[in-house]
Chains A and B, each alone.
Chain A
Amino acid sequence: MLTDRRHCSLNSGWIATAAMPPRNDVTASTLKGIKPKGPWRSSQVVRLIKVVFVLLATLTSSQVLARDELNLYNWNNYISDETVSRFEQSCRCKLVQDYYSDNEEMLAKLAAGASGYDLIVPTGNAVESLIKSKQLRPINKLLLPNLRNIDPAYLNTAFDPGNRYSVPYAYTITLIGYNAEKMHELGLPTDTWAVVFEPKYLKKLKGRVTVLDSQRELMSAALKYLGYSVNDTDEAHWRRARDLIIRAKPYWAAFNASSYIKELTIGNIWLAHGYSNDMFQAQMDAKHAGRPFNIAYATPKEGAVLALDSMVLHKTGPRPDLAHRFINFMLEGKNSAELTNLIGSGNPNRDAMQYIDPAIAANKAVFLTPDIQRRLEMLKDLDRNQRRVLSRMWTEIKVR
C-alpha cells in the first residue's frame, strides 16, 4: 500500500517530497551584472556565464510550466494509492502530494510562507486557526452536489459554522494500539490510559511503549487520565499532567509520530499511543505478514481525542477548480468508503455505509457507538500565551 518511496515530512524538517514547483523566478533578477574576469580569456568566461544563465533559466522555468496538477497537503497515510489513481483517471490530472504528521507542523510551514497547496486536510482546531488567520478560500457549495451525503452530525461544527470553508473528510481517534497476545500474557488492561502512565504496569513494558511526539495529543491523554477535559487550560492541571508524563517517561521507548506502525507490526513495540487509522493499518500489516500475534486497538474508558479532519482550500492554491472536483469526488459514498476500507478511518459519509466492509463497520473505533461518542472530545485551539506555556512544559517533559 503506502510504501516508503514517498518520504514523509518531518515535525522538524523542511523537506520537500513530490516536486513542488518553485513560485519564484530565480533568473536574471537575482544575478547582478556580468563582470568579465580580466584577460583570462574573457570571452570564454562570458560564454560560461551565459551558459549558467540559460541553465538556471530553463531548469527553473521548466518546473513552472503549467500542468494539470492538484497540490494536496495531507497527513501521512491518509489516502490510498487506489483512490489517488482513480481520481487522476477521472479528472485526467495529476495529484501531487506533500505530507505532515502533525497539525502543528503543517501550521508552522504555512506560517513560514509555504504556498501553492490547493487542498489541505487539517483537524478541527487547525481549521479554526486557518480561518481566523484568513488563509482559506471559501468553498463553492454549488460545485459540491455530493455534500448532502455527509451525516449532519458532523456538519456545522464549532470551528466552521455553516461549513463555509471546510468539508468533512474523515475522523480518527487517538487511542492505544497493542500487541494483543503480549498484553494478555502480561495480564495488562487494555481499556485505560493507566497502562501508558502508571509505573506499576509500565514496569512490565519497559522499552516497549511509544507515545506520540505531539504536545497537544500527549497532554490530552494525560489530562483525560486525570479526569480533566482535553481543552482544560488551568495551568495547575497542566502541571499535574506534565508530572504524570515525566514520571512515566523512563519506561517509554520513544516519542514517535510515524514509525510506530512498523514497530508494532514487527513486534518491537507492544503498546503504542497513536491514531486509529494507523492502528488499523498495523493490524492489517501484521495479518498479511503472518505474524504470530494480533494488533488490536481500543478507546480508553477515560476518554480520548476525536479528530475530525476536513478538506479546505488554501488561498494560494492555483487550481481551486480541480480542488472542488477532488472534494466532490471524495464525497461520493464509494470513494469515501474506499478510504475507510483501506485505512480504517472513521467515516462521516452516510452514503458510504453500503460500501464499507462489514468487518470494519463493526469496529467500534471506526464507527462510534453512543457510549464511546460521549467520551470523545475535539481539541480547541489555544491562544498564544497558552501555547507558550505549553511549549515550556513540553521542553521540561523532554529534558527532565
Chain B
Amino acid sequence: MNRRQLLRFAASVPLACRSSLLWAAPQAGTRFMLVFLRGGLDTQHLLVPFGSDFYYRARPNIAISRPGQDDHSVIGLDSYWGLHPAVLESLVPMYLRKQLVLVPFAGTDDDSRSHFETQDSIELGQPPTGSRDFQSGFMNRLAQRLSASQPIAFTDQVPLSMRGKREVSNIALRSIGKPAVDARQSALIAGMYSNTKLAAAVNDGFGVRQEVMKNLADEMSDSARGAVAAKGFEAEARRIGHLLSEEFNLAFLDVGGWDTHVGQGAATGYLANRLDELGKGLAALADEMGPRWNDTVVVVISEFGRTFRENGNRGTDHGHGTTYLVLGGRVRGGRLAGDQQRIEESTLHQNRDIPVLNEYRAVLGALFARLYGLNATDLAGIFPDARPKDIGLV
C-alpha cells in the first residue's frame, strides 16, 4: 500500500466506524486510561523505521519489508516510519482519523533492563534517586488530585501505579459471572471488617462488583441484538469501554506476553498475532465508547523497548527506548510526536538499544496538565522533581 492508496483507504474508513464521527455530546469530563504492555514490547516491530538501512542490516530475519511490496509490507506513515501490517485494520484507520499519536524514543532513565525494576519504577513514578514508597503509585496520586475521579483497575490485583492513599478498586473483566454472596451476607461480612484496615477494600469490592454487574447486564442485552460476540481481549476491551463510558474515568489495564526472546516472527508469527489482538482491542474500545471517545485519552506503554538488533534466536532481548501510543477522539493524532532522531549504529544507546529522548514522567506530566488543567504544584505532587515536557499530544 503506498501513500496514495493509504489516503483512499482513509477516506473509506470513517463510514464503517461509529466512533469516527464527531459526536455532539456534552462534555462529561475527561477519561484517562493507562494500558501497560508487560514484558517489553518490541516497538520496532510495531512502529517500523523502514527508512533506516541499518534496520534491515540489524534484523536480517525478522524485519518487515519496505512499504508497497506486498500484503506483508510495512504500512508507510511517512518516508521513514510505518506500522506493522497486522494493525492495518485497527490502528492504521485510527491514525488516519487523527486519533492516534505515536511517541517514539520514549521511556525511562532506568537502565537496569530488568522487567520488574523498570515496571515498578514506571508505576511508582517517583524520582529516580532516593528510596521508593511502594504504597504510592502515580495514577493514585493523580486520582487524589482530581476532584471527581472514579478510578478503577481492570486487573486481578490492584497494580502498583494505582496503590496509595486513595482506595482504588479492581475487577478483572476477562470473564464475568454473577456474584455469589448476597446483599445480607455482604453486610454481615462488611460488619466483620468495620474496624480493620481492610474495611475500605471490602466495601469498595462489594460496591464495584454490584455496579459492574448491573452495567454489564445492560450492555450484554444491548449487544445481543445482532452483534457478533467478540472474544478474548477484544471482548474485554468492549466491557472496559462500556464501563469507562458509564462509571469510571481513570483506569488501568495491563496486557502480558510481550517478552519475545525467541522466534518473534516478522510480518506474521507470534508478535504479529499479539499486535493484531492489541489493535483490535483498542479499536473495539474506541467503538464501544461512542461519543465518550471524544473525551477519552488512552496511553499505551511498555517498560522498555528491545534490542535494535535481533538476537541469535530470531527474537530480541531487553532494551531501553520504546514507543508510546496515545489514542483518543481529540488527541492531535495522525503524526509522530516528541524528539526524534535517525536510527543508525552510531545513535544507538550503548550500541544496542533505542535511546530515550522523551522521558515518560515529563511527557505524561505535561499531558495531565493539559487534560486536567493542573498547575505546577499539582503536577509536582504527581511526578515529583519532573519537568513537564509538552509535546502537544492533545
B partners with A: no
